[in-house]
Amino acid sequence: MDTNKASAEAQGNILGNIAHIQHLIAEDAAFFGREAKSVQLLAVTKTVSVSAIMEAIKAGQRDFGENYVQEGVEKVQALAAACANVTPPLVWHMIGPVQSNKTRAVAEHFDWLHTLSRSKIAQRLDAQRPAHLPPLQVLLQVNVDAADSKSGLPADEAAVRDLAVLVHGLPHLRLRGLMAMPNPSEDETELLAHYRRAAHLLATLQQEPALAGAQLDTLSMGMSADRRLAIAAGSTLVRVGSAIFGRRPG
């Protein structure tokens, strides 16, 4: 697949890789009858150095995703100092699981959280979001392939609706949609069905009277290897790491 090749060649040509991925995203979108700008690129920077992130910023990339709270906060702070005048500004997404003892750091330093799945975490983030910042943009993570090992809500309409309504009622959080990360699989039919399940759940929320007025416009789905299937199913934000920055150590 093209993405494996991209990841092997990624090291050292971040600008070229971003242009290439943007091109592939636009191609996929067009193939499935969607507008190119309806699918955004989130650059995943776990284990990636600040200088490599600077390269991506020079290439025009603005949305970045981190998995580990402490590593993420260090980079947010380092880049806030180095990129204070960059326009449009950087947008930081927490895409890894968040335990209760890390909610304050997320509330204080990030713009988005993709992995909300518990009401207790939602309430802590709402209470801890600083008043001078806009609301934290939130996606609910749904466990679409029902993997036991996974965090995320069961992909069940009632479970997703209940947490969505709770988040919608919190003034310092803004519910924007859903995130899904099925386990890698060779079975494309099965993967596509998982991504369609997430899209269906978002459509259900969009019809929910208790969520009237919510801006439910985001489906965070797809990575370097399964980007195309996720776009076929309606992804609006693909999370790509290795195809931009090279294979991670370990």
Query: Residues interacting with ligand PLP, by CB under 6 A?
Result: 44, 46, 67, 95, 181, 223-225, 239-243
Residue 129 DSSP code:
S
Burial pattern 5-22, b for ≥16 Cβ within 10 A else e, equals ebbeebeeebeebbebbb
Residue 167 DSSP code:
H
Residue 101 DSSP code:
G
* Residue 153, H or E segment: strand 153-154
Shortest separation between residue 13's beta carbon and ligand PLP, angstroms: 16
- Measured from the CB atom, the residue of 137 and 168 that comes closer to ligand PLP is 137
Shortest separation between residue 152's beta carbon and ligand PLP, angstroms: 11
- Measured from the CB atom, the residue of 133 and 248 that comes closer to ligand PLP is 248
The pair of three-digit structure tokens given for residue 200, joined into one six-digit string: 């269906």
Handedness of CA 196, 217, 230, 103 (dihedral sign): negative
Shortest separation between residue 228's beta carbon and ligand PLP, angstroms: 13
Shortest separation between residue 183's beta carbon and ligand PLP, angstroms: 12
- Measured from the CB atom, the residue of 92 and 168 that comes closer to ligand PLP is 92
- Measured from the CB atom, the residue of 67 and 123 that comes closer to ligand PLP is 67
Amino acid sitting at position 214? A
Of all residues in the shown chain, the one whose CB is closest to ligand PLP is 241
- Measured from the CB atom, the residue of 4 and 77 that comes closer to ligand PLP is 4
Shortest separation between residue 199's beta carbon and ligand PLP, angstroms: 17
Determine the Cα–Cα distance for residues 212 and 61; give it in Å rounded to an integer.
32
The pair of three-digit structure tokens given for residue 157, joined into one six-digit string: 């309409």
